[in-house]
Amino acid sequence: NMRLASHNKTRVAYFHDEGVGNYHYGERHPMKPHRLTLTNHLVLNYGLHKKMEIFQPRRATDNEILEFHAPDYVDFLKRVTPDNAEEFEQVFQRFNVGDDCPIFDGIYDFCQRYAGASIEASRKLIAGGADICINWSGGLHHAKKSEASGFCFVNDIVLGTLELLRYFPRVLYVDIDIHHGDGVQEAFYSTDRVMTVSFHKYNGDFFPGTGHLDEIGTSLGKYYSLNVPLRDGIDDDAYIWLFKEVMDGVMATYQPSAIVLQCGADSLGCDRLGCFNLSIEAHGRCVQIMKDYKIPMMVVGGGGYTVRNVARCWTYETSILVDQELSNDLPPNEYIDFFKPDYQLHPHLSGRVENQNDRQYLLKVRERAMEQLRYLDA
């Protein structure tokens, strides 16, 4: 890529919406948009803003959201509120609204904000205005064309990728959230212009239940969906090894012109919903590996339910993307109490869950991935 070859410093654009952290899914709900405010505070207090261009993104318009989502579903999201919810109860099932995806104040505004940031990020990459664009509020990979799912209402990744496809011939989607990236896989299941790769916990039962090795795509998209199912408790060394093996193979065969990286932080150890054993350093190593391919890249957030560790993780990953080393001592900031008792960027997160991924299993998964890539090459 000439654009990257002619500079040696990576140009990073950071999209943060000042209001996006103020929405509430509900008291007991594990998804906490406040983690975005907390992340942004750490990023600023570490001084990382000096190394990037900062943008207050525009909200996505109805028409932009309609590029993927169905008109009746968008209309519903626009009109429903906690106060008038009873008028809409008959369509709750159809649109999969309920405990996981509750109706809360400003729900459509929230969607417009996180989706607008991913769309703007895509446009910035297309314009050549940045090598890497970051939107930690995005990454809501479960939303379907006509249906909410798994805390996701609008699929900003699909919308951002559709925008990238206006210019880039081939887009690679990589997903390290502990959940399967089903909404993105489904949206691009029959095209060879997007290859989707998800690493996730899979046992036939864990949400959303998809992501089996045999889900490989269909028609023109056959072999262009790659799934890496993992068991509980995977550790740093195994994950990084498998990630590097698989991604080196994917990059060599698919040769994407742009990358979208979903960095769900629920694959960290000690996550409230997750059951992997990754350290923040290992999670960040995956980001570094993708950055080192030097292809225009959009980086988005996703899951992450132990709020203090989400903020740590995405701050650390911002620092990797801008090539700035950070002190392990967190800078003083108004939210410092969240980071008790150690006040460190890299607390110990591992050791809570037994590793169920033995050597034989990991080798089998790698072998299956490599086999699929050979078909894709032919």
Nearest Cα to Cα of residue 140 among 243, 288, 264:
264
Q: Does 7 bind ligand TV7 (CB under 6 A)?
A: no
CA distance 356 to 126: 42
Q: Which stretch binds Ca ion (CB under 5 A): 124-132, 161-169, 197-205, 362-370?
A: 197-205
* 296 upstream amide cis, omega within 30 of 0: no
Q: Does 207 bind ligand TV7 (CB under 6 A)?
A: yes
Number of neighbouring beta carbons within 10 Å of residue 285: 19
Cβ proximity to Ca ion, 175 vs 186, nearer residue: 175
Q: Which of 44, 54, 213, 273 binds ligand TV7 (CB under 6 A)?
A: 273
Beta bridge partners of 262: 175, 300
Q: Which of 217, 221, 264, 269 binds Zn ion (CB under 5 A)?
A: 264
Q: At closest approach, how far in Å is the CB of 1 from ligand TV7?
A: 30
Q: Does 124 bind Ca ion (CB under 5 A)?
A: no
With CB under 5 A, what is the number of residues at the site for Ca ion?
4
Cβ proximity to ligand TV7, 28 vs 359, nearer residue: 28
Cβ proximity to Ca ion, 40 vs 198, nearer residue: 198
Can you give the length of the chain in residues? 378
Q: Kind and range of the H or E element at 109?
A: helix 107-126
SS3 category, 350? coil
SS3 category, 174? strand
Q: Which of 51, 179, 200, 283 binds Zn ion (CB under 5 A)?
A: 179
Taking CB under 5 A as the criterion, which residues in 153-182 touch Ca ion?
175, 177
Q: Does 302 bind ligand TV7 (CB under 6 A)?
A: yes
CA distance 89 to 175: 33
- What residue type is assigned to position 259 of the chain? I
DSSP per-residue string spanning 146-168: TB-BTTBSS-HHHHHHHHHTTT-
The entry of ligand TV7, Ca ion, Zn ion, none that residue 198 binds, CB within 5 to 8 Å by partner kind: Ca ion
Nearest Cα to Cα of residue 152 among 88, 77, 80:
77
Q: Which stretch binds Zn ion (CB under 5 A): 60-68, 301-309, 330-338, 349-357?
A: 301-309
Q: Which stretches of 19-101 are DSSP H helices? A: 34-45, 62-65, 71-79, 89-92
The entry of Zn ion, ligand TV7, Ca ion, none that residue 151 binds, CB within 5 to 8 Å by partner kind: ligand TV7
Cβ proximity to ligand TV7, 21 vs 264, nearer residue: 264
DSSP 8-state secondary structure symbol assigned to residue 221: G
Q: Does 28 bind ligand TV7 (CB under 6 A)?
A: yes
Which residues are catalytic, by number? 142
Cβ distance 335 to 299 under 8 Å? no
Q: Does 126 bind ligand TV7 (CB under 6 A)?
A: no
DSSP per-residue string spanning 9-20: SPPEEEE--TTG
Q: Which stretch binds Ca ion (CB under 5 A): 48-56, 89-97, 104-112, 190-198?
A: 190-198
Taking CB under 6 A as the criterion, which residues in 356-375 touch ligand TV7?
none
Q: Does 266 bind Zn ion (CB under 5 A)?
A: yes
**Which residues would be at the binding site for ligand TV7 (CB under 6 A)?**
28-30, 99-100, 140-142, 150-152, 177, 179, 207, 264, 266, 273, 302-303
